[in-house]
Structure 1
Amino acid sequence: MWREHISSNAKIWSGPGISPNGFWSVFSHHDCSAVLSPKAPFTSEHGMMIGFDAENSDASGGRMLVVTDGSWHSDLKRLIGPFLSRLRAPELNAVLEREVKEIINRMKSKETTDVALEVGPRLPAAIVCEVIGVPISDRENLIELTNHAFGGEESSFDKMTPAGAHQEILFYFHELIAEREQKPGDDLVSALLADGRLSVDDVVINCDNVLIGGNETTRHSITGVFHILQAFPGILGRLHENPDIIDLAVEEVVRWTSPAMHVLRVANEDVAVGGQQFRKGDPVVAWLSAANRDERVFADPHTFLPDRKPNRHLGFGTGPHHCLGAALARIELRCLLVQLAEQASSVQLTSGPKWMRSNLIQGYSGLGVSVDWR
């Protein structure tokens, strides 16, 4: 979790290293919101992670949704958004309820479960693969590849390098696209191909964006649910007695876990944020995990309050790049919380938490739990 010794008002310069030309960091809710504001003179098109800047741009810039601005970003959102919105929720409910039921039944059959490995990845992967059009027979392989692609330095994900795993994901999407070119369906791949404006490579990188965006953050919020229920043992009882607050609790899960640690933007012109002057071309990193613990916005920020209101967290970002999959993440978390509130009375840790070694994802590599069922 975010360490408290860094002032939330700070603007810190980090010299060249993993980012060739260095970068600025902002931490407060106000400053992060200002950098991500629709009217702020910052662009995402050079890349959205530490390591990119105006001189070292992401090759997907201007092509992949998450690193595209302007009218093409709006067009991509109109293409992809309906597949990730609440409008599709009724179609996905059967998949969602089946997966949650299977997860809970598996947990009931065992004394302990490492939810970071056995629960967190499964629910979002099932939903995202359904949206993209990945056959059920291929989903286990994609989950495994995603683990490796974003496991960073984790020894549990050492079967291949992150770059190698990511390359395998891209190869897979090329094969899936070739199938959909011959036999279209009602899935995202088919819709992107049918639009006619995207090359095969553009379809690949945008499917990759959806797969990663849908899997690699929500899985840690799902794992975090069990950590929260152990760390704050009265929560399950409150949700059981008052299910009307579950939607508020979902927002608090996203705030408290804050899986997406940072996003990067590059200044399009000289600009001041929170009293700090940034020059045109400067990379600026907004630390969302810090903003979500800003005590000026969130009273008692390190405590999980299931009925916290208002809750202006930045867990899904803000501005034009507000997470397009937020609605799906919310219904996944809601379905899990509803079932746990109905069926579980307490959660205990048997091991961990073990944290991933990553400056991009604030996530779990291990969290062993046992559950007392009602």
Structure 2
Amino acid sequence: MDLGDPRLYGSPGRYAMWHDHATDDAIVWSDPGSSPSGFWSVFSHRACAAVLGRQAPFTSRYGMLIGFDAEHPDRAGGEMIVAADGARHTRLREILGRFLSRPAVAALEPFVRKEVDHLLTEMRETGVVDVARHIGPLLPAAVVCEVLGVPAGDREYVMGLTDAAFAGPGSESTAAASVRAHTEIFCYFGEQLAARNRSPGDDLISALLAEDDLTQDEVLVNCYNLLIGGNQTTRHVIAGCFDAASRTPGLLAAVRADPGVVPAAVEEAIRWVSPGMHVLRVTTAELTLCGQAIGAGEPVVAWLAAANRDPRVFAQPAAYRPDRSPNRHLGFGHGPHVCLGARLARLEIAVLLQALAERAGSVHLAGDPLPTRSNLIQGYRSLPVELRWPG
């Protein structure tokens, strides 16, 4: 079985497979197919954390996704934060972290609240809304574009490019269209960099260009990374909040009664949806993992979505439990590459959930949820809901 085959992840059957593999602490080999050289997979919380840990003998320089090819490594290796190691990775985190720090994210809260208020007002006027298509994507896109300094008039265009670039099987986009969208994203940011070189602003792109030890290429690929990271994962947790509220009738009432429950409810939504399904690493030395000897230079995939439903760590893992504690999910990864935008994602989800509780009485599904069919992103292709409004 090629565990990189996206067709395996379009139905709930994946959960049973992940449950069995996580419980057994399994390590599974996939022959060449979705990845030219094949790859190992681990699923348990313990094994995934070990692969991603700070002292683990792995590198990210070949890229972080299934498709590892030693002959054709990631062209952004050593330049993009998710594909860099050691001192360069530390320096990139230091630079980018200034714009995603606690004070920087707190300063964005009024903007996030304004965007959420606008989206919920539109929902009230519309009736039944497919939140996977018309709510989930819009908030993260607005926020990441605000951080990057992308003009408001370009948001829809940029969001459309990210959707096309990561369109899964069964979509209308072809592989050629996906490649073209990736190229257009880079061309767009190339134009933005040229504009900031001529006339710097107070946005992230201008700030990155002002760093003496960043090349133009490093600025370009890291802007791309922030756009993709901000758009393609948080959107599914936002949609998941509506799904969770429909399945947990007391959730909104609990948030209205005590906003202090929001942080735990947000963490559980991240665990329950687990939008980032896998992370790939390549061994830098021989090691033994889950009882299996692995040589140097071999790819290992950590299935984070499986680890987040490991029954030995999470009781009733399939259930959304807003008061789950402790909640040691790996939804934002683990170790030195833990997601730099996690604080911003948490803010967006928390503001949405609290505003939803304050304004809506209840959430009801208006149709069957349709899951993504992807080995990379877990979430919703469609989630039609109807909100019942008080008064």
Aligned to 1:272: 288
Contact kept, 8 Å, 1:11 with 1:26, in 2: the verdict is yes
Contact kept, 8 Å, 1:154 with 1:356, in 2: the verdict is no
Quote the sequence identity (%).
51
Give yes or no for the alignment of 1:122 onto 2:138: yes
Superposed displacement of residue 85, structure 1 = 2.3
Contact kept, 8 Å, 2:26 with 2:290, in 1: the verdict is no
Structure 2 gaps of 5+ residues are 1-11
Contact kept, 8 Å, 2:368 with 2:383, in 1: the verdict is yes
Among 214, 218, 242, which residue is 2:234 paired with?
218
Among 62, 65, 77, which residue is 1:49 paired with?
65
Among 205, 210, 228, which residue is 1:189 paired with?
205
Give yes or no for the alignment of 1:4 onto 2:13: no
Aligned to 2:7: none
Contact kept, 8 Å, 1:54 with 1:283, in 2: the verdict is no
Q: Equivalent residue of 1:109, what SS?
A: helix
- Cα deviation, 1:215-257, whole Å, max 9, x if unaligned, reads 1000111111111111222222222222211111110010000
Task: For 1:70 and 1:159, locate their aligned partners in 2 and report how far apart those are by CA, in whole Å.
Answer: 34
Aligned to 1:238: 254
Equivalences for residues 46-195 of structure 1 within 5 A: 46-155=62-171, 157=173, 161-195=177-211
Superposed displacement of residue 340, structure 1 = 0.9
Aligned to 1:339: 355
Q: Equivalent residue of 1:161, what SS?
A: helix
Superposed displacement of residue 12, structure 1 = 0.5
Aligned to 1:367: 383
What's the Cα RMSD here? 1.4
Aligned to 1:39: 55
Superposed displacement of residue 57, structure 1 = 1.1
Q: Equivalent residue of 1:238, what SS?
A: helix
Superposed displacement of residue 341, structure 1 = 1.2
Superposed displacement of residue 160, structure 1 = 7.0
- Judge which range, 299-308 or 2-11, deviates more: 2-11
Task: For 2:297 and 2:247, locate their aligned partners in 1 and report how far apart those are by CA, in whole Å.
Answer: 43
Superposed displacement of residue 154, structure 1 = 4.0
Task: For 2:175 and 2:32, locate their aligned partners in 1 and report how far apart those are by CA, in whole Å.
Answer: 30
Q: Equivalent residue of 2:328, what SS?
A: coil
* TM-score in terms of structure 1 length: 0.97
The amino acid across from 1:222 in the alignment is I
Contact kept, 8 Å, 2:148 with 2:204, in 1: the verdict is yes
- Cα deviation, 1:280-335, whole Å, max 9, x if unaligned, reads 01100000000000011111111111111110000000000000000000000000
Contact kept, 8 Å, 1:152 with 1:357, in 2: the verdict is yes
Superposed displacement of residue 202, structure 1 = 1.8
Give yes or no for the alignment of 1:24 onto 2:40: yes
Task: For 1:241 and 1:157, locate their aligned partners in 2 and report how far apart those are by CA, in whole Å.
Answer: 45
Contact kept, 8 Å, 1:95 with 1:126, in 2: the verdict is no
Aligned to 1:250: 266
Contact kept, 8 Å, 2:281 with 2:301, in 1: the verdict is yes
Superposed displacement of residue 39, structure 1 = 0.2
Task: For 2:175 and 2:128, locate their aligned partners in 1 and report how far apart those are by CA, in whole Å.
Answer: 25
Task: For 1:150 and 1:144, locate their aligned partners in 2 and report how far apart those are by CA, in whole Å.
Answer: 10
Q: Equivalent residue of 2:193, what SS?
A: helix
Aligned to 2:370: 354
Task: For 1:154 and 1:355, locate their aligned partners in 2 and report how far apart those are by CA, in whole Å.
Answer: 11
Q: Equivalent residue of 1:369, what SS?
A: strand
Give yes or no for the alignment of 1:299 onto 2:323: no
* TM-score in terms of structure 2 length: 0.93
- Cα deviation, 1:141-181, whole Å, max 9, x if unaligned, reads 11111111111224255697111111111110000000100
Task: For 2:76 and 2:176, locate their aligned partners in 1 and report how far apart those are by CA, in whole Å.
Answer: 23
The amino acid across from 1:328 in the alignment is L
Give yes or no for the alignment of 1:316 onto 2:328: no
When residues 64 and 267 of structure 1 are mapped into structure 2, their CA distance, relative to the original with a 3 A threshold, is: same
Q: Equivalent residue of 2:302, what SS?
A: strand
Superposed displacement of residue 31, structure 1 = 0.1
The amino acid across from 2:16 in the alignment is E
Q: Equivalent residue of 2:293, what SS?
A: strand
